[in-house]
Amino acid sequence: MSGFLFYHLQAKGFPHWGYDYWFKMDTQQVPDLFQEGAGYAWPGIPYGDPFEIYPGPNGPIDSIRWEVFAESLQDYQLLQTAGIPPDSPLLKDLKTYADFPKSEAWIDKTIAAIKKLSDRPVQFIANTGFRADHTGGNVKLRASGLDPSLQGSFFSNQFADAGQGATIMSHQNTQNHMDALKMPSAGVPSDTFLEDRRRKFHNDDSIEMFWEPNAVTDGDSIVHFRRADVIVTGDIFTTTQYPFIDIHNGGSVQGEIKALNDILNRTVYEHEEDGGTLVVPGHGYLSNEHEVLEYRDMVVIVRDRVRDMINKGATLEQVKAARLTADYDTRYGKSTGPWTTDMFVEAVYSGLKQPAAAASK
Ligand SMILES: [Zn+2]
């Protein structure tokens, strides 16, 4: 597709950051790229993203990514040779610069929706984790807001822009991950905490952030608005997929179960009614205690099934082949995309096999 797009946009070129970036991120160590293709930065960087070619004993080795790209350049050349003008009606369905990026429009819509609730500026943004699907709007959302508590404070002597923009809060490990991934500094949390709980009284509500270590990563938090009785869970709980347990960044099935139990320890429900604590999942629909309970039970059951097979000496391949999640797959399973059923089963398996390694990162 890129060939058509570049031709239509009359692009003169484009920067590709990783033709042969073979290092472990921010070091000069070269890992086995056939085993570890994300520079140890998954999921901030998808597998295969940092490079197009592999190092081989007799020179570079081709990749499917590289071939697909080469084909797109052939498309470009074909359009040129055929004399089709870049603004030809034949290419009218292609996106233009005005259509990019989609997330900006989404953020604008979100800011407009918040403004409808209140004419006061956004003062605080709580990040539940570091992944881009939960932090990608930080820069814009922060710029739309204001934190008067920082103006004229200790911080304003250190940073000229103190208080200009909302204050982004998160656990310290989330800030560390975002720094390591070189996310734009204006979108990196500046107000971080190391302890298990961070409290704040704001908008007549008591707001608590609880660090849930080693659940999906080592830096995730849930946010509880006590007065409104709403819990925002981030990726610890979703209604759409198996938990995204990222063992390379400190996630573990044990920590995930503990985090889900922590949510359940804080929820209240109204029998047969809609009342009670509202749970905002990382992905999916607005939920309550019942959905979190089902999800927790699912993770516990899958964990127990995998542990059973491990105790009987099963290999990862045997565990995957046993399809231990089959009864949940129609609801949560995926065979493609960034988080497949196999990846989840593998994360559970490796976490149970080497709990120390998963917890120590
Ligand atoms: Zn997510």
Per-residue pLDDT in tens (0 to 9) along the chain, 361 residues? 789 999 998 988 888 878 888 888 778 888 888 888 888 877 667 788 888 999 888 999 999 888 988 999 999 999 999 999 998 988 888 877 766 555 677 778 888 888 888 888 889 999 999 999 899 889 989 988 888 877 655 555 555 566 678 999 999 999 999 999 988 889 999 999 999 999 999 888 999 999 999 999 999 999 999 999 999 999 999 999 999 999 999 999 999 999 999 999 999 988 777 789 999 999 999 999 999 999 999 999 999 999 999 999 999 999 999 999 999 999 999 988 889 999 999 999 999 998 654 444 4
Cα–Cα distance measured from residue 246 to residue 348, given in angstroms and rounded to the nearest whole number? 10
Distance from Cα 183 to the centre of ligand 1, integer Å: 17
Give pLDDT tens digits for 253-275: 999 999 999 999 999 988 777 78
Give pLDDT tens digits for 87-123: 898 888 887 776 655 567 777 888 888 888 888 888 9
Q: What is the DSSP letter of 121?
A: P
pTM: 0.68
Distance from Cα 237 to the centre of ligand 1, integer Å: 9
Whether residue 215 contacts residue 174, with contact meaning beta carbons closer than 8 Å, is answered with no
Whether residue 277 contacts residue 289, with contact meaning beta carbons closer than 8 Å, is answered with yes
Cα–Cα distance measured from residue 157 to residue 36, given in angstroms and rounded to the nearest whole number? 44
Distance from Cα 234 to the centre of ligand 1, integer Å: 7
Q: Which residues of 65-93 are buried (b: 16+ CB within 10 A; e: fewer)?
A: ebeeeeebeebbeebeeeeeeeeeeebee
Q: What CA–CA distances, in Å, run from 121 to 77, 159, 198, 210?
A: 50, 20, 22, 25
**Sign of the CA dihedral running 353, 355, 358, 360:** negative
Distance from Cα 270 to the centre of ligand 1, integer Å: 28
Looking at residue 155, its pLDDT comes to: 53
Q: List the one residue out of 212, 219, 203, 205 whose CA is nearest residue 254.
A: 212
Distance from Cα 151 to the centre of ligand 1, integer Å: 33
Q: Could you tell me the two tokens for 160?
A: 């000229």
Q: Could you tell me the two tokens for 170?
A: 């998160």
Distance from Cα 353 to the centre of ligand 1, integer Å: 26
Give pLDDT tens digits for 178-205: 999 988 889 999 999 999 999 999 888 9
Whether residue 141 contacts residue 5, with contact meaning beta carbons closer than 8 Å, is answered with no
Cα–Cα distance measured from residue 36 to residue 168, given in angstroms and rounded to the nearest whole number? 32
Distance from Cα 241 to the centre of ligand 1, integer Å: 10
Distance from Cα 158 to the centre of ligand 1, integer Å: 34
Looking at residue 358, its pLDDT comes to: 43
Distance from Cα 99 to the centre of ligand 1, integer Å: 24
Distance from Cα 148 to the centre of ligand 1, integer Å: 30
Q: Could you tell me the two tokens for 357?
A: 């390694």
Looking at residue 314, its pLDDT comes to: 96
User: Is 210 strand, coil or helix?
Assistant: strand
Distance from Cα 180 to the centre of ligand 1, integer Å: 19
